[in-house]
């Protein structure tokens, strides 16, 4: 079992997801990034797309539109313009993210 870390996905409207995660995959302007516990400090710009959160034997998929990803002291924060938890696949979350982008103008 991988070591957990705190993850918060925050938008101006609300906290979309908060809890212990073991692995996070997000799309940045430089490409896709995976984060495990004890990752080096990092700040990256997010693009519109799906974020995959692995926690225990479960996976949560979140559609995000823009923002930033920060990794510091086993705390990962995604500060995003818009975020919504998806009940579907990565592809469905990516479509949800595009919808969030379009609805923000």
pTM for this model (two decimals) = 0.85
Separation of alpha carbons 100 and 59, rounded Å: 21
Q: What is the pLDDT of residue 94?
A: 72
pLDDT at residue 104, as a whole number: 63
Enumerate residue ranges in the chain where pLDDT < 70: 1, 88, 90, 104-105
Task: Enumerate the domain spans of the chain.
Answer: 5-103
CATH number for the 5-103 domain, one of 3.60.20.10, 2.60.15.10, 3.40.640.10, 3.40.1830.10? Answer: 2.60.15.10
CA dihedral angle for residue 93, residue 57, residue 70, residue 87, rounded to 10 degrees: 20
pLDDT at 103: 74
Output the pLDDT for position 2.
Answer: 87
């Amino acid at each position: 079992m991988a070591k957990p870390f705190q993850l918060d996905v925050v938008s101006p409207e609300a906290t979309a997801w908060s809890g212990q995660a073991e692995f996070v995959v997000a799309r940045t302007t430089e490409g896709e990034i995976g984060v495990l516990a004890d990752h080096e400090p990092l700040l990256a710009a997010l693009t519109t797309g799906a974020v995959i959160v692995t926690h225990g034997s479960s996976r949560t998929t979140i559609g995000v539109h823009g923002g930033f990803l920060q990794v510091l002291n086993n705390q990962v924060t995604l500060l995003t313009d818009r975020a919504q938890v998806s009940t579907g696949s990565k592809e469905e979350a990516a479509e949800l993210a595009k919808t969030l982008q379009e609805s923000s103008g």
